[in-house]
Structure 1
């Protein structure tokens, strides 16, 4: 069975993330969407538990997706899960530079782990969780950026649109 991990903070999950996850399910037998507990990211909008709940809700119709969380090195987590592939979405050249560094260090730590880069669908090439949070904080419409359950959760966090 081919198992891939799609890691990220998913604060919050966007249509761009879902595009990569869904496409990954067509390539791998199982895709583990793994929320990184990142102590360097301060002031997240959603708790780890809320992110896991939102991810489970938006992937519930994808039978070969598992949602989980991890701390520490991604390579160690992958060993625990028996995964051999990392799925990463790329929006722009700026993403590539950072992601290539990460892929290189992961490969140095375990040369049997491959990173698969997927170009994000053009309609999501500008989209990031940071942008969604910023727009959502000011009450703007984010319905074209995130699934309805995430939009509702953002409204609950930031209040109803003005």
Structure 2
């Protein structure tokens, strides 16, 4: 049986921390679905199509023997319904700090009530990325700060283009 993992997120924009989790998650499953979520409460800077395209471009750089296939899909609606539709047995989540854990702990408990057959696996952020949050990267970029160590050159270009408009 193929192990399918789902890594959901807004990815507005995808950061080096996200990409690190993508690469590490690829070692754990046969197929990795990256669900780029619609989350209007976060007021995304990039459209859903732009975020899907950015994540696809970054994932195209990740491949190698023994690594999972990656599918990047727009994700609408309830996470567990999306996971079921993808055939995922595992939800993968990255953790940076205690606040992440508290939120994820609550979400995992609720998701388990919705479908106890889907496991949630947490991956700790690499220490280089523990402080990196898309929200902060956007703020730094909007104020003219250097974001080179937080995102890839392609994402940096896309961010700077957004803030030039």
Whether TM-score is above 0.5 comes out as: yes
Structure 1 distance, partners of 2:134, 2:42, is 13
* Matched position secondary structure for 2:6: strand
Task: Tell whether the 8 Å contact from 1:8 to 1:36 is kept in structure 2 after alignment.
Answer: yes
Structure 2 distance, partners of 1:62, 1:83, is 20
Structure 2 distance, partners of 1:96, 1:130, is 18
Question: What residue is the counterpart of 2:46 in the other structure?
Answer: 46
Question: What residue is the counterpart of 1:131 in the other structure?
Answer: 136
Using the TM superposition, give the Cα deviation of residue 71 of structure 1 relative to its aligned residue in structure 2, in angstroms: 1.2
Which structure 2 residues correspond to residues 136-151 of structure 1 after superposition, within 5 A?
A: 136-151=141-156
Alpha-carbon displacement from aligned partner over 1:40-78 (angstroms, at most 9, x marks no partner): 222x11000100110011110335111111111111011
* Matched position secondary structure for 2:29: coil
**RMSD of the TM alignment (CA)?**
1.2
Question: What residue is the counterpart of 1:68 in the other structure?
Answer: 73
Using the TM superposition, give the Cα deviation of residue 39 of structure 1 relative to its aligned residue in structure 2, in angstroms: 2.7
Show structure 2 runs of 5+ residues with no match. 64-68
Structure 2 distance, partners of 1:39, 1:141, is 27
Using the TM superposition, give the Cα deviation of residue 159 of structure 1 relative to its aligned residue in structure 2, in angstroms: 2.3
Matched, 1:109 2:114: yes
* Matched position secondary structure for 1:40: helix
Task: Tell whether the 8 Å contact from 1:12 to 1:150 is kept in structure 2 after alignment.
Answer: yes
Question: What residue is the counterpart of 1:16 in the other structure?
Answer: 17
* Matched position secondary structure for 2:73: strand
TM-score scaled by structure 1? 0.95
Structure 2 distance, partners of 1:39, 1:148, is 26
Question: What residue is the counterpart of 1:59 in the other structure?
Answer: 59
Question: What residue is the counterpart of 1:122 in the other structure?
Answer: 127
Within the candidate set 93, 96, 120, 1:88 is matched to 93
* Matched position secondary structure for 2:40: coil
Q: What is the number of residues matched between the two proteins?
A: 159
Alpha-carbon displacement from aligned partner over 1:63-100 (angstroms, at most 9, x marks no partner): 51111111111110111111110110000111100001
Runs of 4+ with >4 A deviation: none
